[in-house]
């Protein structure tokens, strides 16, 4: 299910000025000043834009996040849905009240949304910039952390989680 409220179209590459190699367009300079970040899936069918700084960023080691991403943990940052635009169709898997969106063509994990609030949990791995400038402030479900991973310095450590989307994980 795609939540229409966070799905919208915006001007994509077609609106960029051409012939200005090595120079940012007026639009891009404006975006950089506003803290706009771009991301998307591997095949390009889904593009994502977030505006402004996230409310928080974290890591989760729970089984649900591991299986969603196929990775030993999932990293994310959270924005209000008013700051997030998604172009392209996604599909989602819902565990209880959380909807984990992915690209139906290439399977890339993209973001999570919840019934109970307007937060969008964007997967750090879907940003075009790597590494990002976003640092996890907390870790969830550290009881599931792989033994060869060390904890993130200065990040709060939670054995489990009280946050939506990770409550019913195991």
Residues in contact with Zn ion by the rule CB under 5 A: 41, 43, 45, 60, 62, 65, 103, 105-106, 166, 169
DSSP output for 103-144: -TTT--EEEEEESSSSEEEEEGGGBSSSS-S---SEEE-GGG
Q: Count other Cβ atoms within 10 Å, centred on residue 67.
A: 13
Name the token pair of 63: 């089984």
| Residue 144 beta carbon to Zn ion: minimum distance, rounded to whole angstroms | 9
| Residue 127 beta carbon to Zn ion: minimum distance, rounded to whole angstroms | 15
Q: Is 147 exposed, middle or buried (0-12, 13-18, 19+ CB in 10 A)?
A: exposed
| Residue with smaller CB distance to Zn ion, 48 or 134 | 48
Coil, helix or strand for 8?
A: coil
| Residue 14 beta carbon to Zn ion: minimum distance, rounded to whole angstroms | 19
Distance in angstroms (rounded) separating the CA atoms of residues 76 and 115? 18
| Residue with smaller CB distance to Zn ion, 29 or 67 | 67
| Residue with smaller CB distance to Zn ion, 48 or 65 | 65
| Residue with smaller CB distance to Zn ion, 105 or 135 | 105
| Residue with smaller CB distance to Zn ion, 17 or 128 | 128
Nearest 10 degrees: Cα torsion 12, 76, 117, 34 = -40
Distance in angstroms (rounded) separating the CA atoms of residues 39 and 44? 9
| Residue 107 beta carbon to Zn ion: minimum distance, rounded to whole angstroms | 7
| Residue 143 beta carbon to Zn ion: minimum distance, rounded to whole angstroms | 12
């Amino acid at each position: 299910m795609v939540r229409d409220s966070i799905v919208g179209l915006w001007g994509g590459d077609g609106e960029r000025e051409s012939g200005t190699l090595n120079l940012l367009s007026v639009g891009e300079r404006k975006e950089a000043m506003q803290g706009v970040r771009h991301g998307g899936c591997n095949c390009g069918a889904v593009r994502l834009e977030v505006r402004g700084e996230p409310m928080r960023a974290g890591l989760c080691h729970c089984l649900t996040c591991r299986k969603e991403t196929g990775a030993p943990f999932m990293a994310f940052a959270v924005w209000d849905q008013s700051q997030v635009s998604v172009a392209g169709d996604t599909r989602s898997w819902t565990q209880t009240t959380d909807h984990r969106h992915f690209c139906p063509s290439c399977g890339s994990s993209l973001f999570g949304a919840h019934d109970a609030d307007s937060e969008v949990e964007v997967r750090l791995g879907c940003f075009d910039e790597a590494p990002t400038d976003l640092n996890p402030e907390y870790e969830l479900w550290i009881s599931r952390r792989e033994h060869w991973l060390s904890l993130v310095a200065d990040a709060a450590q939670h054995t489990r989680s009280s946050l939506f989307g990770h409550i019913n994980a195991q």
